[in-house]
Amino acid sequence: MTPLPTRRGVLAAGAVLLALWAAPALAEKRAFEMTIEDTRINLVEQRGFHTFAFNGQVPGPLIHVVEGDDVEVTVTNMTTLPHTIHWHGMIQRGTWESDGVPDMTQKAIAPGETYTYRFTAVPSGTMWYHCHVNVNEHVAMRGMWGPMIVDPKKPTAVEKEVTKDHILMLSSWASQWADKPGQGGLPGDVFDYFTLNGKAFPDTTPITVKKGDVLRLRFIAAGDAIHSIHLHGHVFEVAFKDGHPLPAPYKADTLLIGPGERYDIIVRADNPGRWMIHDHVDSHTVNGDKPHGGIMTVIEYEGIPKDQPWYHWAHKAPVADFYYEESLKAGKHGLLENPAYKGTPAN
Amino acid sequence: MTPLPTRRGVLAAGAVLLALWAAPALAEKRAFEMTIEDTRINLVEQRGFHTFAFNGQVPGPLIHVVEGDDVEVTVTNMTTLPHTIHWHGMIQRGTWESDGVPDMTQKAIAPGETYTYRFTAVPSGTMWYHCHVNVNEHVAMRGMWGPMIVDPKKPTAVEKEVTKDHILMLSSWASQWADKPGQGGLPGDVFDYFTLNGKAFPDTTPITVKKGDVLRLRFIAAGDAIHSIHLHGHVFEVAFKDGHPLPAPYKADTLLIGPGERYDIIVRADNPGRWMIHDHVDSHTVNGDKPHGGIMTVIEYEGIPKDQPWYHWAHKAPVADFYYEESLKAGKHGLLENPAYKGTPAN
Amino acid sequence: MTPLPTRRGVLAAGAVLLALWAAPALAEKRAFEMTIEDTRINLVEQRGFHTFAFNGQVPGPLIHVVEGDDVEVTVTNMTTLPHTIHWHGMIQRGTWESDGVPDMTQKAIAPGETYTYRFTAVPSGTMWYHCHVNVNEHVAMRGMWGPMIVDPKKPTAVEKEVTKDHILMLSSWASQWADKPGQGGLPGDVFDYFTLNGKAFPDTTPITVKKGDVLRLRFIAAGDAIHSIHLHGHVFEVAFKDGHPLPAPYKADTLLIGPGERYDIIVRADNPGRWMIHDHVDSHTVNGDKPHGGIMTVIEYEGIPKDQPWYHWAHKAPVADFYYEESLKAGKHGLLENPAYKGTPAN
């Protein structure tokens, strides 16, 4: 967002104020640099995985821009395999060569090479980016994805109500290939780890709210599984599909989402308590052969005591910005990294 | 429902009649007792399965109440493993400790112990209950689920039209674990049996209708599979999602439903004949390695002769209340068991 | 469509012209003959598969009729196994014995036998037909399916805008059973080939458009997989579900579709370039163990140069009518075969 308050201080007349509403229409130029790195991350506890990670993190950095911004991303491939970046949801008007598909819109970026993507951020909404080379391995299993949020110039009524914004990227992993980069992601593979922003329970982190909050949960199905997300204690509203406002938002407590889809749901925090949010595909709540893992977390309300002796997360220190909730706050635009997602160099 | 006709006979004045419309708002107190039992059921023919069954039946008893009722369920765990009950869809306003999640909202109910859940039945609609311990085994494969129907205080127009109401719970089973309670439900397992209310074809039972009926079919995906339900001979209306009326009901002949979701569809019985209703995930219509099984049944219209020599179910004796259609009739509230679903004690 | 221009030449008065608008209501009688043949097709390159193919092709011939037409299809089973045809989506009013379900609505058609189906083509929309015997093998894996398009008497506004109409049938294949007709399609099978109209990339063909075109893409999930179809460069409108206009069409870039479902999407060709359309279930974009295959194709705009040295399909000769786009043109009704889908006799 352009720095409206400052301008507002300078300007006075009503007619000029009117013009201010159009101010965000002035496209910003956003130039970013990214790397793709052989990176080892931990999905949960000691379960490591060799990924090809954007800026060495999974999920990759948040690209947070405004509708109409001119975006330039210069990518350097520091791995030993070819890659590209597809900006899933961006329509690339007039810039099809920046669509990021190997042998279709560009030659893949060879190891050691650099490539620059340029496009206008249209349309607004919950988008994401990912590699488009050997997607069955690189996207489905090597963590080559990150979120891209394009703020609308004209938010909808419900968007204006939101007090807390969160990104939840879902993925699955086949541990048999954890240490074999360049292989795997084939029919018949057993996917046995399941993550929320790259982590499986109990290494996920609570979502904290206070009564009266209006949560926006932006789900992005980044891996190769279909998920059925269930929220306890609330009826939510399914408000956006693939970034676009639904013409007839509907109520639900369980959300089916398939690879590449995004759904934004609105949760009105009107029911203090402690509430699970998890994949209802039951086999997605295991870590390998151990139950009670995978895609699970908890919404904790302020003021609910956590001192029950049986509460699993009584002494859990929440990880800041785990759902990019800090990075999504108004005015924070740019390419926003997240230390919580950083791995260590592999090889 | 409160016994309106009786009251109506007693009261006279218009002003009082007006008050009657509010009568269902007087919350009933409903107190139930349930057990969890090691129970052997037959999915089809000789294919047995060791379950942990609510009141010794799969699906569990129907909990049929009215919106706003105060519900109390006292559960005794008669198995050798810990369990809980989550009331899927109930928002548990002010009663989060009754939400039934081990280590999150309560300590799991140990073998031999009893636990009491108390909550107000809100919101109305097609809900269900299930264990929340080791869901990948207990829910996905050991039959720990049953339906909960909360009648609305103010039914929608289409609900008032319904003449026959049915519950159809979908589940899948991995026979490799049939006799190994406490194990299974892991990534890579082969699920090879598929059931409708705990039975696979040909051990399901016909849905019988007469021309003019308005059917409500309440689908509950209780297991770990995604189902694609196809009805022959009719275009149905998808009317409710997770118990909630859709703002824009739509027409379809095939319904995709994932774990934990519920969809209520409205079928206008205007086309006499004999019509399949089955999972269009073709591999869900086998029993083990034998085709023509799994999630399949038939809608039979009154007056259609059944004497064709090739009709598979010409001499089939329908099982009463197989779809809880008797139990769902107006005024029948409470915890309603079903002899058709009873198994035999295991161990 | 009835031959309106000819009639128009004969008639003159305004009152009579008014009657002409009702002319399509005069049901045509459409009588077709079909065979079911042991047929070997190639999914991609040298990957052959033994199918039971309608008229020796996969997909089967397009049945293209008008709402209300009286359809008669005489089928001869030239294979060694029993079959039927179910007309998925047709409500078969008054003709339930033509619904094509073995042991339910008819005795299956034995090898060498002939059977005649008769029904009125209602409702309109994107429908399909398939065998209903051993569907886990015959439909999920032996190519026993084809499209049936019923043109509406009264098209919707958006239908009238369409300039190019396409059929895209999705399916999956388990190569372990390629040469074993009469077997396979069981839980635990590994499906390792994935096709669009019976072909896997790179043996699919581009969809060619010019700026200003309004595309209708009719997706039919004919096999046993769930697909998540992503279109690049455009936001599409999900307009029809199972042939029926959605009351609240919505915008998306990714479409989840399960077995038996159909979705028609509207794509406004307003963004010249070269755009992928592919399954975002990443493992559905492999051919066996080789990445970059399966369910993928490209939308090519007129005027976009194809001479980039890295363009995979720079010299590709598009296959005519690959998406039945020629056969769908106005006025072309009947049973329309497609040489592009023909296999060779098996056995």
- Please report the residues numbered 43 through 72 in chain A whose beta carbons come closer than 8 angstroms to any beta carbon of chain B: none
CATH of domain B157-323: 2.60.40.420
Q: Smallest Cβ distance to C273: which of A96, A103, A257?
A: A96
The backbone torsions φ and ψ at residue C18, rounded to the nearest 5 degrees and listed phi first, read -55, -45
Average pLDDT over residues B4-15: 34
Residue numbers in C near A242 (CB within 8 A): 235, 251-254
In 3D, which of B280, B286, B316 has the Cα closest to residue B300?
A: B316
Quote the pLDDT of residue C27. Answer: 84
Quote the pLDDT of residue B17. Answer: 38
CA C2 vs CA A46, C5, C21, C164, C311: distances in Å = 70, 9, 11, 21, 44
Residue numbers in A near B140 (CB within 8 A): 282-283
Distance of alpha carbon C265 from alpha carbon C278, whole angstroms: 14
Query: Using an 8 Å Cβ cutoff, are C186 and B286 in contact?
Result: yes
Structural fold of domain A27-151? Immunoglobulin-like (2.60.40)
Say which CATH architecture domain A160-325 belongs to. Answer: Sandwich (2.60)
End-to-end CA distance of chain C: 40
Distance of alpha carbon B26 from alpha carbon B19, whole angstroms: 11
Q: Smallest Cβ distance to B105: which of A249, A274, A289?
A: A274
In DSSP terms, which residues pair with B203 in a beta bridge? none
As to burial, measured by CB atoms within 10 angstroms (0-12 exposed, 13-18 middle, 19+ buried), residue C212 is exposed
Residue numbers in C near B275 (CB within 8 A): 96, 99
- Please determine, for residue C255, whether its predicted confidence score (pLDDT) is greater than 90: yes
Quote the pLDDT of residue C25. Answer: 52
- Please determine, for residue B339, whether its predicted confidence score (pLDDT) is greater than 70: yes
Distance of alpha carbon C276 from alpha carbon C233, whole angstroms: 8
Query: Using an 8 Å Cβ cutoff, are C168 and C197 in contact?
Result: yes
- Site from C113, C126, C191, C242 to mutate, B interface, most B CB atoms within 10 angstroms: C242
SS3 C137: helix
Chain-chain contact of B92 with A232 (C-beta, under 8 angstroms): yes
A258 to chain C, any CB pair closer than 8 A? The answer is yes
Average pLDDT over residues B83-111: 98
Is-cis flag, bond preceding C202, omega within 30? yes
CATH of domain C24-151: 2.60.40.420
* Four-point Cα dihedral A289, A290, A291, A297, nearest 10: -120
Domain ranges of chain C: 24-151, 157-324
Subunits with at least 3 CB pairs below 8 A relative to chain C?
Answer: A, B
Query: Using an 8 Å Cβ cutoff, are A223 and A259 in contact?
Result: yes
Query: Using an 8 Å Cβ cutoff, are C68 and C151 in contact?
Result: no
For domain C157-324, which CATH number applies: 3.30.360.10, 3.40.50.10490, 2.60.40.420, 3.30.70.2660?
Answer: 2.60.40.420
Measure in Å the smallest separation between the Cα of C244 and chain B Cα atoms: 6
Quote the pLDDT of residue B25. Answer: 53
Q: Smallest Cβ distance to A282: which of B88, B96, B259?
A: B259
This complex has an ipTM of 0.92
What does the DSSP assignment read for B50-117?
A: EEEEETTBSS--EEEEETT-EEEEEEEE-SSS-B--EEET---TT-GGGS--BTTTB--B-TT-EEEE
Topology alike, domains A27-151 and A160-325:
yes
Chain-chain contact of A282 with B93 (C-beta, under 8 angstroms): no
SS3 B3: coil
- pLDDT tens for chain A, 347 residues long, are 333 333 333 333 333 333 333 444 578 999 999 999 999 999 999 999 999 999 999 999 999 999 999 999 999 999 999 999 999 999 999 999 999 999 999 999 999 999 999 999 999 999 999 999 999 999 999 999 999 999 999 999 999 999 999 999 999 999 999 999 999 999 999 999 999 999 999 999 999 999 999 999 999 999 999 999 999 999 999 999 999 999 999 999 999 999 999 999 999 999 999 999 999 999 999 999 999 999 999 999 999 999 999 999 999 989 999 999 999 997 899 999 999 999 999 97
Chain-chain contact of A92 with C291 (C-beta, under 8 angstroms): no
Quote the pLDDT of residue A25. Answer: 53
Chain-chain contact of B310 with C107 (C-beta, under 8 angstroms): yes
Distance of alpha carbon A290 from alpha carbon A217, whole angstroms: 27
Average pLDDT over residues B294-316: 96
Residue for token digits 């469509």?
Answer: C1
pLDDT tens digits along C289-320: 999 999 999 999 999 999 999 999 999 989 99
What pTM does this model have?
0.93
Chain-chain contact of B186 with A283 (C-beta, under 8 angstroms): yes
A223 to chain B, any CB pair closer than 8 A? The answer is no
- Please determine, for residue B10, whether its predicted confidence score (pLDDT) is greater than 90: no
Distance of alpha carbon C301 from alpha carbon C318, whole angstroms: 13
Residue numbers in A near B188 (CB within 8 A): 190, 192
Measure in Å the smallest separation between the Cα of C56 and chain A Cα atoms: 29
In 3D, which of A67, A54, A56, A63 has the Cα closest to residue A23?
A: A67
Query: Using an 8 Å Cβ cutoff, are A200 and A44 in contact?
Result: yes
Residue for token digits 């308005």?
Answer: B214
End-to-end CA distance of chain A: 40
Quote the pLDDT of residue C331. Answer: 81
In 3D, which of B153, B120, B110 has the Cα closest to residue B4?
A: B153
The backbone torsions φ and ψ at residue C308, rounded to the nearest 5 degrees and listed phi first, read -65, 135
Distance of alpha carbon C294 from alpha carbon C279, whole angstroms: 8
Residue numbers in B near C260 (CB within 8 A): 228, 230, 253-254, 280
In 3D, which of B96, B89, B84, B88 has the Cα closest to residue B133?
A: B84
Residue numbers in B near A272 (CB within 8 A): 96
Residue numbers in C near A128 (CB within 8 A): none
Residue numbers in B near A248 (CB within 8 A): 246-248
Q: Which of B317-331, C113-127, C232-246 has the lowest mean pLDDT?
A: B317-331
CA C309 vs CA A107, C120, C312: distances in Å = 9, 53, 8
Quote the pLDDT of residue C347. Answer: 75
Band of the pLDDT at C7, cuts 50, 70, 90?
very low
Q: Do β-strands C344-345 and A227-231 pair in parallel, antiparallel, or remain unpaired?
A: unpaired
- Please determine, for residue C16, whether its predicted confidence score (pLDDT) is greater than 60: no
- Site from C86, C93, C99, C105 to mutate, B interface, most B CB atoms within 10 angstroms: C105
The backbone torsions φ and ψ at residue A92, rounded to the nearest 5 degrees and listed phi first, read 55, 50
Distance of alpha carbon B292 from alpha carbon B255, whole angstroms: 20
Q: Smallest Cβ distance to B259: which of A190, A280, A291?
A: A280
Q: A243 to chain C: nearest residue by CA?
A: C252
